[in-house]
Amino acid sequence: MNDRFFTLCSNDKDIKNADKTISARLSVEYSLYKLGCSINTYRNKVGIGHGRPFIPEISKEDSKIAIESMGMIVELLLSKLKQDKGTV
């Protein structure tokens, strides 16, 4: 896998320095990046992952939102991988 696959927009500076035609896409990528980081922090704080020995302090609704959001992020990463390999 080459480095281009891992080049997602991960800061606001990337968006501001981008050509106007791609800035909207970069904004979506940045939002999904921040969402993933937030879900990871939340997940670690309340213990919904890694087989914790206690009952998690997260509602079923919040858990579902976290899972579905991570699915969107994975979809973005997989589509970038397909583009990188030229299969799209």
Model confidence over 54-84: pLDDT tens digits? Answer: 777 778 898 899 899 999 999 988 988 888 7
Greatest pairwise CA separation for the chain in angstroms: 49
- What span, in angstroms and rounded, lies between the C-alpha atoms of 11 and 76? 17
Do residues 30 and 16 make contact, with C-beta atoms less than 8 angstroms apart? no
pLDDT in tens, 13-43: 666 776 767 777 788 888 888 899 898 888 7
Q: Phi then psi for 18, rounded to 5 degrees?
A: -85, 155
Task: Please name the amino acid found at residue 48.
Answer: I
Token duo for residue 47: 């213990």
**In the prediction, which pLDDT does 3 show?**
39
**In the prediction, which pLDDT does 52 show?**
66
